[in-house]
Amino acid sequence: MSYFDAASAAPLHPVARQALLAALDDGWADPSRLYREGRKARMLLDAAREAAAEAVGCRADELSFTPSGTRAVHTGIAGALAGRRRTGRHLIVSAVEHSSVLHSAEAWEADGGQVTQVPVRRTGAADAESYETALRPDTALACLQSANHEVGTEQPVAAVAEVCRAAGVPLLVDAAQSLGWGRVEGGWSLLTASAHKWGGPSGVGLLVVRKGVRFAAQGASDERESGRAPGFENLPAIVAAAASLRAVRAEAEREAVRLRALTARIRARVPELVPDVEVVGDPERRLPGIVTFSCLYVDGETLLHELDREGFSVSSGSSCTSSTLTPSHVLKAMGVLSEGNVRVSLPTGAAEADVERFLEVLPGVVAGVREKLGAPTPTAAVRQAEEVVVDSLGKRCPIPVIELAKVIGTVPVGGRVRVLSDDEAARLDIPAWCEMRDQEYVGEEPAEKGTAYLVRRLT
């Protein structure tokens, strides 16, 4: 089995396993106690904090261990907003943040706060200028990920941090995807990360709050972890997380070169091997191991199941793999194709032979899914002079796009196809299809049922 979903959770690093087992023997006592076993546990905790702080590039007393990366995000955002409540109740986030950040923003908005969501370019990157425009006198906090978890695009953290610093606004950086590869540059104020993203054990997060940043931890607290993560520390997991972070950093420069070459091969060859594919994300400013592409006329869930049958574990942002049947918020914000979406995220040590086998298998899998799905005759295709109406109501992705592709040739150049659909994904996938096929997306109109999407034939 080839595991290609390291962006979700990286396999446990051998150093993490060794450190975890050793800490189970020596780190079981309460590190707040003064007797011998407690002192030994405290030494392990302090050493882990020093190692993690060195990797982040911060002081040890600025770093707290939390029960998860999500908890670090929630605690960091809530504490920073509370600490600056006199400034105002305005929060800025990018449109492609991890769900943990967006959920915090939703909770803040529900509590009466205001949230500005900064848009991104088609590559998935935000602009410092957009953050500067979004800043207000009552802005309490801004958030920006260091790199995107779905498409691998690196964000301009240093430039955004400078804009925020000039305005006196702290910047919280979600560094979950990038910390294993290196420090986050720039004058950020708060940082969060998650150990299972770099090969540490799950259940350990990092929260860094720079000295001088106003911060008021919310909820019940105790004396542990500066009051930011109450409860008994999972010391064996913390030790393993710090040890594995140091280990992956030692390998990062060499491994990044190797993985960049493998993902570049995937980015280049997938469009050559599989017709009607869009590779998404920034082609240059990206994490080493992530490559994402979307396949027209493919059911994303079926595609992932078929790849699993062939021995490949990958993930997807396709609406067809979601219980809500809505496209990934990241792909939606980028304005790219969502149907048949595949994210390949290679773990450290991924074999070149496995990547080659993936490229050999993929064309047949996609072709098989397309054949199995078929290209059904539109429910209703009525000729109205220069326009054809396609009724795809009640049909989910990628059927509306397939039906559009089937009938576009039945109208003359300059003629239009009106696609009726009640699937939210159509709002994203039909314009993306038009761009890929050199047709003109005219826009959308309300319909008696669902929405009418208008396409003009150009070629």
Closest CA to 436 of 384, 398, 410: 398
> Three-class SS of residue 347?
coil
Helix (H, G, I), strand (E, B) or coil at 30: coil
Are residues 173 and 192 in contact, defined by beta-carbon separation less than 8 angstroms?
A: yes
CB of 71 within 8 A of CB of 205? yes
Contact 225, 60 (CB under 8 A): no
Which amino acids are annotated catalytic? 320
Beta strands in 277-347 (DSSP E): 277-280, 290-295, 312-313, 341-345
Q: Look-up: residue for tokens 């040590």?
A: 349
Beta bridge partners of residue 278, listed in sequence order:
294
How long a stretch of residues is the chain? Answer: 459
Backbone dihedral angles phi then psi of residue 192, each to the nearest 5 degrees: -130, 155
Say whether 105 sits in a helix, a strand or coil: helix
Q: Are 145 and 329 in contact (CB under 8 A)?
A: no
DSSP string, 343-395: EEEPPTT--HHHHHHHHHHHHHHHHHHHHHH--PPPS-EEEETTEEEEE-TT-
Q: What are phi and psi of 194, to 5 degrees?
A: -140, 130
DSSP state of 286: B
Specify whether the CB–CB gap between 200 and 245 falls below 8 A: yes
